[in-house]
Amino acid sequence: NAGVTQTPKFQVLKTGQSMTLQCAQDMNHEYMSWYRQDPGMGLRLIHYSVGAGITDQGEVPNGYNVSRSTTEDFPLRLLSAAPSQTSVYFCASSQLQGTSGYTFGSGTRLTVV
């Protein structure tokens, strides 16, 4: 019953560094997505995928890349970290139909200094 697993839980990066946030789900969900959560701004969609090999941009995609080579995994890559990317990142998955709601991971708290 792992659900959605995110790693790492915490990360500090220097400006300009790159890194990958990992997300894996074991529920055979077609839909996966990445959100960032900032104070007073709710959750904003970064990228999403409706299946292996298919990805698309969300509301705030700049500075982030994704790929979906398998149903289970949906990593988020920060190409060149900036202080504006300091945030809490959540991965979520669901069945494609969207009526059953999302399952969220526990989040990655990222600080860029």
Partner 1 sequence: GDSVTQMEGPVTLSEEAFLTINCTYTATGYPSLFWYVQYPGEGLQLLLKATKADDKGSNKGFEATYRKETTSFHLEKGSVQVSDSAVYFCALSSAGGTSYGKLTFGQGTILTVHP
Q: Which of residues 3-62 bind partner 1 (CB under 8 A)?
A: 4, 31, 33, 35, 40-43, 45, 48, 50, 58
Q: Is 15 helix (H, G, I), strand (E, B) or coil?
A: coil
Nearest distance, CB of residue 15 and partner 1, angstroms:
26
E strands, the chain, in order: 4-7, 10-13, 19-25, 31-37, 43-51, 54-57, 64-66, 76-78, 87-94, 103-104, 108-112
Measured distance CA(107)–CA(98) in Å, rounded: 21
One of 7, 15, 106, 111 touching partner 1 (CB under 8 A) = 106
Q: Which of residues 84-103 bind partner 1 (CB under 8 A)?
A: 90, 92, 94, 96-103
14 versus 101: smaller Cβ distance to partner 1: 101
86 versus 103: smaller Cβ distance to partner 1: 103
